[in-house]
Amino acid sequence: MNTFAEFLDIAGLGMVTPLGCGVETTWKRLIEGECGVRAIGSKYLKLDGFDAETQAHVFDQLTSKVAAIVPSGANPGEFDEQMWLNAKVCFLIIPFLAAICCHFDRFLHFGSCL
């Protein structure tokens, strides 16, 4: 009788973590003892369309000012939402869902389950 493990073929690995985007970046930072949990500011709330007073008020309402946030941007080791999502819908999707899209794409590209 065949088991599921006999049909599993993993051809690659992708990581999107608070330590960075990509296996090399994540492992390097992990081995160096870095931590993905950090203090956050109002810029992480993505409230650029609101005035400074509203941004400050929303930020003050947070019960915690630390988080494990995936570094985002276009630099190496950062998660680039624009690369994974259509620009028209990017502002509608929370970063967590964007990361799921990235993980699924990496699975389809590098791995398979037969």
Per-residue model confidence as pLDDT tens digits over 47-75: 778 888 988 898 898 888 888 888 888 88
Higher pLDDT, 86 or 45: 45
Count Cα atoms within 13 angstroms, Cβ side, for 20: 15
pLDDT category of residue 7 using cuts at 50, 70 and 90: low
pTM (global) more than 0.75:
no
Q: Is the pLDDT score of 8 beyond 60?
A: no
pLDDT, average across residues 19-36:
90
Query: Residue length, the chain?
Result: 114
pLDDT category of residue 114 using cuts at 50, 70 and 90: very low
Find, among 64, 98, 107, 108, the residue nearest to 78 by Cα: 98
Tokens of 69: 């946030």
